[in-house]
A and B are shown apart, each in its own frame.
Chain A
Amino acid sequence: MELNVSSRFHDDHTIVTICGEIDLYTAPRLHSELAALLADGMPARVVIDMSGVDFCDSTGMNVLLSCLRRARERGGELEIAAPRPAVRKILQVTGLDSVFTLVPDADAAGLSEPKPAVPRN
């Protein structure tokens, strides 16, 4: 499996589930899928469920970052849910863990109450 992307639409947010690996080869497809979700008329709040992503490099981070910028331009947010250790590592190493909103799981995101950035388990 290289990359699967699927979406669930709620009234005020969209949950995008990504499975597989995000790199130079798969990033363009992820970018076009996310760009479509952030088009006008769609909820600007997007929760990316990354629990199924076992690899992501800086190319993938750049895709997420440009979509974060797009979401915020529209008054929304792009949240990263349930990153695995390898994805948490690149978020830390790049300092992007302080740029993205991280949530413990996709169902905890999109709620009105803010959630702690780090799961306590």
Chain B
Amino acid sequence: MEVTASSVLVLPFTPASVGVARRRLVSDLIEAGLYGSAVSDAALVLSELLSNALRHGTPLPGSRLRVAWHLDADSVRVSVSDGGAPTRPELGEPTQSTTGGRGLRIVAKLSRRWGTGSDEEGTTVWAEVELSQLTAVAVPAAAAETG
């Protein structure tokens, strides 16, 4: 069964790219047979990583950033690369009613693991969203039952 999907997008370093990348990811995952929370969790994780890069990072050369995802049998790995920032990504500790600091906590909660890397080009933040049995490609019959 074909469960592998990989994409790399190089997009302008602007807020409009968040939705562009997210919609491409969602359509790739649906095309690969995923649905439900696997798709929406991956979309949320990607949106948070991209928002962080745009807020705290710097562009790659040419005022760009790079987004990639890879789907395998039991997870979706998404990653966002920018030109780096003066500070490393950190989990915020927001109180319930403060604004801000939530993005990476959401990533940490929705992914089985996440991490950062840096090289001469800049910083990459990645996260792996696990596919549960209910949302995995192998059991599409569950879709009809939940409708």
Contacts and interface: CB of A to CB of B under 8 A. Distances in A.
A121 interface: no
Instruction: Give the contact-size bracket for chain A.
Output: 20 to 34
Contact of A65 (B15, B22, B99, B105): B99
A62 B100 contact: yes
B28 to A, nearest CB: 16
Per DSSP, are chain B's interface residues mostly helix, strand or loop, or mixed? helix
Contact of A69 (B16, B48, B97, B105): B97
A74 interface: no
Interface string B100-116: 10110110011000000
Given A23-B18, A25-B18, A58-B106, A90 B44 contact: yes
Contacts of B40: 55, 85-86, 89
Contact of B51 (A55, A57, A98): A57
A78 to B, nearest CB: 12
A68 to B, nearest CB: 8
B55 A24 contact: yes
Contacts of B22: 21, 23, 55
Pairs of residues from A and B, 9 with the lowest C-beta to C-beta distance, nearest first:
A25-B15, A62-B99, A58-B102, A57-B47, A86-B40, A24-B15, A24-B51, A58-B103, A23-B18
Given A21-B19, A24-B55, A57-B51, 6 more contacts: A24-B50, A25-B15, A57-B47, A59-B51, A89-B44, A90-B44
